[in-house]
Structure 1
Amino acid sequence: MDRAFIIGDIHGNYDELLQLLTHWDPETETLIFLGDYIDRGPDSLQVVRHVMQLVEEGAIALKGNHEEMMMEWTRGEHEARYLRNGGEETLQSFMTASRGANDLSFAEFRSVLLTEFSEEVTFLNERPLYYEWNQFLFVHAGVDLLKENWRDGTDDDFLWIREPFHTGSNQTGKQIVFGHTPVKILNRDKSFNPWFSECGTKIGIDGGLVFGGQLNGLKVAADGRTDWVKVEAKS
């Protein structure tokens, strides 16, 4: 396909995801997700299962830092950090779908999650960190622009990087599309619309949906042309 449709941070908002997908043409556009399917929103499990189905049908789904935080929680690492960053809502969505788990604490639910929802956990854990398509590079947070080869970056770079990537000089030869940082922070007009760097080689699309913004979908063509659509957060 010579076009792609890229979706930013969903964060458990299933209804908005379904609405945005009505703008996707599966016959002509490769579907690419930039990660952060879970946390903060009410329907993380539904989102994960829908993305899993789309991946089976050929979509690309990358890992975000929130998926990584959930994996750390399953290993008993940084538990409090995960829960205060939206993990409670995610675990509750899994517990609601579980058999008799509503009376369990989150810690007690961990073993249930790893057995009853092993397919979903494995799916989230095995997501790739980036995807290259023509001259485009798709990644959750960004890359270390100081490295001679950006592919030598750490997992933390791909999942967590912010300001050094946003302001750094892009000599990768790639047009980089990323999520992670709500674009309201990057846009001079403080809007939730996609951010285009002055150099024209970086595009941020995290519309801050869980902060009252919007879910952005970016359309790109193999020749570099771009367009975008949005679904605003439900009031």
Structure 2
Amino acid sequence: MSIASGAPDTSGAVGVEDAPLYVVGDVHGHLEPLREALLEQGLIDEDGHWAGGAARLWFLGDFTDRGPDGIGVVELAMQLSEEAAEAGGSSRMLLGNHEILLLGVYFFGDHPVPVAGGSTTFREIWLRNGGLQWDLDRFTDAQALWLARQPVAAVVDQYLLVHSDSNAYLEYGSTIEDIDGEIRDLLGDPEPLPCWDLFRNLTRRGAFMGETGTLAAADLMGELGGRQIVHGHTPIPYQTGEDPALIDGPRVYADGQVINLDGGIYLGGPCLVARLPLREPVEPPVSGSDDETLGMVYDIDEDPEYR
């Protein structure tokens, strides 16, 4: 079965709008902390319905796995998408690597996929990465098709929103429209390997860390647009070594070019919901349009356990 059958065009390129902009980091099935964080920001009411008016809300992906109610998070996101639109606002999401993995296990299950030294299956990798059977039991065709329609990147108010702190997106195109189109086509392929390769690419991380981090960030923005990158995927405690319980907000790094919204909720950190701007975006350094850096792969951790 094709994952994205009937999926409409959902390009992630979004124009600047005069309304508050909020971004949510990785949730990983922690529905109640998500509700509490959205309520605190005035985006939902006590009953869990949209209360944000014309506000814009973006989820950065990784709704499921490792937490008690991943499908509850999917259901809430779908509900808020409808309710926000009716109120003149918007609630949207980006695909993360765990959405790709969930789609893979749902549609391809025990089909063999290649790994170093042999092969495994979507199901095995899903279980190894926190997949929970009660989520899969509740996952429906309608939810799968809704997820498959979502973009992987967006530029909103000059913020480049992506799930992964990686330049792997450029392997699928040089514009957001091209990347989203290519990934929709991959998700529409009835064969499992394109989905598997996409999952593995979106697990890459660490591109904006270290000595080349500012160059990597500038290269990505130089291709896709934006003046500041906002991502999830890599928990802030992994980057800083901090106690997850002490994380109290997003992390700005790479000379101010990058914001990390993954509080490490499954490690004991917070569910981060931030209103942007945290501060004024900085002018990026000259990007790697220079022949010496164009096309470099900056990711420093291909993460053999995927996470």
Alpha-carbon separation, structure 2, partners of 1:174 and 1:62: 19
Which residue pairs with 1:176 in the alignment? Answer: 229
Which residue pairs with 1:5 in the alignment? Answer: 22
Which residue pairs with 1:103 in the alignment? Answer: none
Q: 1:198 to 1:121 in 2, by over 3 A?
A: closer
Which residue pairs with 2:143 in the alignment? Answer: 120
Identity of aligned residues (%): 29
Which residue pairs with 2:269 in the alignment? Answer: 213
After superposition, the C-alpha distances for 1:187-222 in whole angstroms (9 at most, x for unaligned) are 365553421114101000111111111111111049
Q: 1:223 to 1:210 in 2, by over 3 A?
A: closer
C-alpha deviation, 1:138, in angstroms: 0.8
TM-score by length of 1: 0.76
RMSD: 2.8
Q: 1:216 to 1:121 in 2, by over 3 A?
A: same
Is 1:160 the equivalent of 2:203?
A: yes
Does structure 2 retain, via aligned residues, the 8 Å contact 1:3–1:222? Answer: no
Compare the two structures and name the one with the higher strand fraction: 1
Does structure 2 retain, via aligned residues, the 8 Å contact 1:141–1:158? Answer: no
Q: 1:134 to 1:183 in 2, by over 3 A?
A: same
Alpha-carbon separation, structure 1, partners of 2:252 and 2:278: 18
Does the residue aligned with 2:208 lie in a helix, a strand or coil? helix
Deviates more, 1:55-64 or 1:187-196: 187-196
Kindly report structure 1 stretches of 4+ aligned residues shifted beyond 3 Å: 145-158, 188-191, 221-225
Number of residue-to-residue matches in the alignment = 204
Alpha-carbon separation, structure 2, partners of 1:158 and 1:224: 31
TM-score by length of 2: 0.59
After superposition, the C-alpha distances for 1:159-196 in whole angstroms (9 at most, x for unaligned) are 32312233422222520000000001223655534211
Is 1:63 the equivalent of 2:78?
A: no
**Which residue, out of 58, 66, 85, partners 2:129?**
85
Is 1:195 the equivalent of 2:251?
A: yes
Alpha-carbon separation, structure 1, partners of 2:36 and 2:229: 25
Does the residue aligned with 1:176 lie in a helix, a strand or coil? strand
Alpha-carbon separation, structure 2, partners of 1:163 and 1:84: 21
Q: 1:157 to 1:129 in 2, by over 3 A?
A: farther
